[in-house]
């Protein structure tokens, strides 16, 4: 099955990004496809390369970035939500790209299931 | 960085936009609205649904001056226009519904006269069917 992922919350404050990550890893392991993860609302903070959690904690931003490098998952940050919150090319983590909300609509149209993570 | 290209040409889906939050206090209402507006370009079927405190998003006569926030109530009028355009254009295969959940509306002492735009009122059970028959749900 082909899954699109929508992440609505930022890292650390909320578990949404952690749960989504675990879901994506599990889905890929089972042989499903996850062509795109779309970061919206405060979810755009998951792409902030200035995030520096303590060494004994999980690194949410780097974990997504590594997943993009290893599995070729397309990580898209909403440009409008990102601009509002100061997520721009200058502080964008490797593996993410900034694009428009049309990329979310596309994921809703082009996948079998769109999974939304947030409140 | 991998850019994935979806094949969306000729694909017709029903996307439900689920508005659950009050218009101000959190940003969800505004950002769901932005995603609805963008989606119009894709000519998909859409349900724009208001439940829980989300029903306040389309209440008439909002004044945000004291909040120091932009009032985006007029923007819902664009959604209404998109819906009307789609309804009137026979060549366009795009069905949009603007739905308010009856229970949420009544619990807040509202009637359809209180809304800025024309809506369809559905019971919770009827709304469950709408969600069940949607291909994707985008919410906030």
Q: How is residue A52 written in tokens?
A: 């520096």
Number of compact structural domains in chain B: 1
Per-residue tens of pLDDT for chain A, all 119 residues: 999 999 999 999 999 999 999 999 999 999 999 999 999 999 999 999 999 999 999 999 999 999 999 999 999 999 999 999 999 999 999 999 999 999 999 999 999 999 999 98
Chain B residue numbers with beta carbons less than 8 Å from the beta carbon of A6 are 138
Q: Does B19 touch chain A (CB under 8 A)?
A: no
Is the predicted pLDDT of residue B1 greater than 90, yes or no? no
Q: Is residue B2 part of a domain?
A: no
Task: Decide if B29 contacts B54 (C-beta within 8 A).
Answer: yes
Q: How many residues does chain B have?
A: 140
Helix axes B76-88, B28-39, angle to 10 degrees: 30
Backbone torsions φ then ψ of A71, nearest 5 degrees: -115, -5
Tell me which residue in A97, A101, A102 faces B1 most closely, judged by beta carbons: A97
Q: Encode B36-74: b = buried (16+ Cβ within 10 Å), e = exposed.
A: bebbbebebbbbbbbbbbbbbbbbeebeeeeeeeeebbe
User: CATH number, domain at B33?
Assistant: 3.40.1260.10
User: What is the rounded average pLDDT of the residues B19-31?
Assistant: 96
Task: Give the range of the structural domain holding residue B33, as residue numbers without chain letter.
Answer: 14-139
Question: Who's near B105: CB < 8 A, 6+ residues apart?
Answer: B55, B111, B112, B121
pLDDT at A3: 98
* Distance between CA atoms of residues A89 and A103, nearest Å: 17
Say yes or no for a CB contact (<8 Å) between A109 and B38.
no
* Chain A residue with Cα closest to B41: A102
Active site residues of A: 78
Q: What is the average per-residue pLDDT within B120-139?
A: 97
B120: β partners = B99
pLDDT at B15: 97
Of A44-53, B20-29, B83-92, B120-129, least confident by mean pLDDT is: B83-92
Domains of chain A, first to last: 2-25+34-46+59-117 (3.40.1260.10)
Judge whether residue B59 has pLDDT over 90.
yes
The confidence band for B2, taking pLDDT boundaries of 50, 70 and 90, is confident
Mean pLDDT of the residues in chain B: 96
The closest CB to that of A109, out of B2, B11, B35, belongs to B11
């Amino acid at each position: 099955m082909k899954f699109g992922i929508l992440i609505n919350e930022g890292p650390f404050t909320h578990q949404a990004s952690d749960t989504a990550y675990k879901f994506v890893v599990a889905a890929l392991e089972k042989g499903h496809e996850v062509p795109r993860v779309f970061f919206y609302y405060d979810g755009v903070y998951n792409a902030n390369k200035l995030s520096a959690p303590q060494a004994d904690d999980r690194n949410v931003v780097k974990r997504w970035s590594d997943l993009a490098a290893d599995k070729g998952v397309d990580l898209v940050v909403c440009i409008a939500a990102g601009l509002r919150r100061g997520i721009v090319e200058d502080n964008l983590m490797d593996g993410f790209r900034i694009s428009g909300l049309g990329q979310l609509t596309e994921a809703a149209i082009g996948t079998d299931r769109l999974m939304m993570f947030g409140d | 960085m991998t850019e994935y290209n979806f094949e969306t040409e000729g694909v017709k889906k029903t996307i439900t936009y689920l508005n659950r939050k009050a218009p101000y206090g959190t940003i969800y209402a505004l950002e769901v609205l932005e995603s609805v507006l963008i989606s119009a370009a894709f000519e998909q079927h859409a349900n724009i649904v208001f439940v829980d405190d989300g029903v306040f998003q389309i209440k008439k006569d909002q004044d945000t001056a004291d909040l120091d926030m932009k009032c985006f109530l007029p923007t819902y009028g664009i959604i209404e226009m998109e819906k009307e355009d789609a309804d009137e254009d026979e060549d366009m295969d795009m069905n949009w519904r603007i739905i308010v959940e009856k229970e949420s509306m009544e619990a807040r002492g509202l009637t359809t006269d209180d809304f800025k735009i024309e809506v369809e009122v559905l019971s919770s059970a009827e709304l469950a069917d709408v969600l069940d028959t949607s291909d994707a749900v985008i919410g906030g």
